[in-house]
Amino acid sequence: MGGGSVWFISHALIQLFFSAWQILQLYVAAYQSVLVWKEVWKHLVGVISVQIIRDVEAFVAKNPFAHADVMRFVVANY
């Protein structure tokens, strides 16, 4: 299984267990201070691990915040 397949499985599981609004909350929280995003993650997911912390920090470091996409989502789904 390639990396794309693993992403697809993870993405499908996330969509199964979380609403689009919860995913948006996790995404926006990831770009806040460390204490904020960890608390939001624990509140929505119920658990946080060293691996989750590393993955979120790596994601944020590689991907600039998608302001336009977030606003488009909010406007389309409000």
For residue 67, which of 27, 34, 35, 39 has the smallest C-alpha distance? 27
Whether residue 43 lies inside any domain: the answer is yes
Residue 77 predicted with pLDDT over 60? yes
* Average pLDDT score, the chain: 81
pLDDT band at 3 (very low <50, low <70, confident <90, very high): very low
Residue 55 predicted with pLDDT over 50? yes
Question: Distance between the two ends of the chain, CA-based, in angstroms?
Answer: 37
Whether residue 67 lies inside any domain: the answer is yes
pLDDT of res. 66: 92
Our count of domains for the chain comes to 1
Whether residue 9 lies inside any domain: the answer is no
Whether residue 11 lies inside any domain: the answer is no
